[in-house]
Structure 1
Amino acid sequence: MTTADRPPTRWALAGDGTSGYGRCFGRLVADGTDVDGEARLADSLLARGGRVLDLGSGMGRVAAALAARGHDVVATEPDEALRAQSRATYPDLEVLPHEALALDAEEVGRFDLVVAVGNVMVYLGEGTERAVLSHVRSLLAPGGRVLVGFHPRSGPAGARDYAPDELAEDARSSGLRVDHRFGSYELHPPADDYCVFVLSAAG
């Protein structure tokens, strides 16, 4: 899918409807609230010093937490305001401005873990889910995995509804295998209000 063919992301189309995300997590971080749930699970999926790609890194909290745990992290966030917030909050964290489909394996390399949490999957451009998942698969190192988390329905402003079974089918059609599904980053049983998937390359 060329740049000209890509539809705008749902995040971009939502405009000001998504502005509360950065403010909310900015307050939580400033108050010392624990916001590392995703990072703790991601860390448990990695050997020490693993290579991690954080897709849609937002204000940088997950990428920064993984870097602090000793991992080699590449963060990417297309939203300029969130990149600015990330630079202000985590000045040592470099953040690329790329969308998922714009990442080139020759440029960024391959990864032991790709993280797509915080509703990244429900904010992709319409009809690009399989293309993104297929591209993510191409960025995995041997034995690499993908950590995905999102609200499947009634999510934030501008987000699509994305049934867990549909995500699983899209993953399989993109060369990925569903290894695990949970209802939280603390590994609760599958639930209706939040989905956490661990995926890996099929075959």
Structure 2
Amino acid sequence: MVETSIWMQKVEADPGHSQWYIERFRAMASAGDDLAGEARFVDAMAPRGARILDAGCGPGRVGGYLASVGHEVVGVDVDPALIAAADQDHPGPRWLVGDLAELDLPARGIAEPFDIVVSAGNVMTFLAPGTRVRVLSRLRAHLASDGRVAIGFGAGREYEFGQFFDDAAAGGLTPDLLLSSWDLRPFTDDSDFLVALLRPA
């Protein structure tokens, strides 16, 4: 039995949480805010026409941008409301409801491997803590041998960066590059955000 994610615990406690999150990003997009920083980062390191897995895709802003510049994108999120919004706002990618701890895309008719897996938007901190290593292992399992995983999340969310590095190693991933932002600033001991570019160990 897989633990319920922290995200879905929030949704169960507040049934309006998902819609609030969706509308927040729709409002930011309408206001002209730049919501594509993570996606530009991934696009810059991807070969043209790459196969990209958006793990914890939410309402689709990252995967939607990547599809718009020519990549083949599959997005997975545990929250059906977010997947419905992704489908509506960002047609093109294949959006799927699914738990990352149980991720088995070939069983759903989706070919692998992926060139890049991206997990932006603090996804790692919304997982049930007991599933983190399993999620990282599942992401590794869907990755090409020369592929990379890009994961970003902030400090102060009850998931220490050091623990994440240990979990990544247990999941078969090793750091290629550590940054403190999606705009390529170096990671230091004082950084309050981590962007980890990982490769198969």
TM-score, scaled relative to structure 1: 0.88
Q: Secondary structure at the match of 2:130?
A: coil
Shift of 1:33: 1.6
Question: C-alpha distance in 2, partners of 1:117/1:83?
Answer: 15
Shift of 1:167: 0.7
- Percent identical residues: 38
Farther-moved stretch of structure 1 (8-17 vs 85-94): 85-94
2:132 corresponds to which residue? 129
Shift of 1:77: 1.7
Conservation of the 8 A alpha-carbon contact between 1:53 and 1:75: yes
Q: Secondary structure at the match of 1:127?
A: helix
Conservation of the 8 A alpha-carbon contact between 1:56 and 1:77: yes
1:73 corresponds to which residue? 73
1:26 corresponds to which residue? 26
Shift of 1:18: 4.3
**Which structure would you say has the larger RCO, counting Cα contacts within 8 Å and 6 or more residues apart?**
1
2:194 corresponds to which residue? 195
Question: C-alpha distance in 1, partners of 2:147/2:42?
Answer: 12
What is the RMSD of the two structures over their aligned residues, measured on CA atoms? Answer: 1.6
Question: C-alpha distance in 1, partners of 2:30/2:98?
Answer: 27
Question: C-alpha distance in 1, partners of 2:128/2:75?
Answer: 19
Question: C-alpha distance in 2, partners of 1:129/1:169?
Answer: 11
Conservation of the 8 A alpha-carbon contact between 2:54 and 2:63: yes
Show structure 2 runs of 5+ residues with no match: none
2:177 corresponds to which residue? 180
Shift of 1:177: 0.5
Matched residue type, 1:87? D
Shift of 1:69: 1.2
Shift of 1:141: 0.9
Question: C-alpha distance in 1, partners of 2:42/2:158?
Answer: 24
Cα deviation, 1:110-134, whole Å, max 9, x if unaligned, reads: 1010111101100111311111111
Question: How many pairs are equivalent?
Answer: 192
Question: C-alpha distance in 2, partners of 1:83/1:8?
Answer: 18
TM-score, scaled relative to structure 2: 0.89
Shift of 1:180: 1.2
Show structure 1 runs of 5+ residues with no match: 154-159
After TM superposition, what 4+ stretches of structure 1 lie above 6 angstroms from structure 2? none
Shift of 1:104: 1.6
1:157 corresponds to which residue? none
Farther-moved stretch of structure 1 (180-189 vs 9-18): 9-18
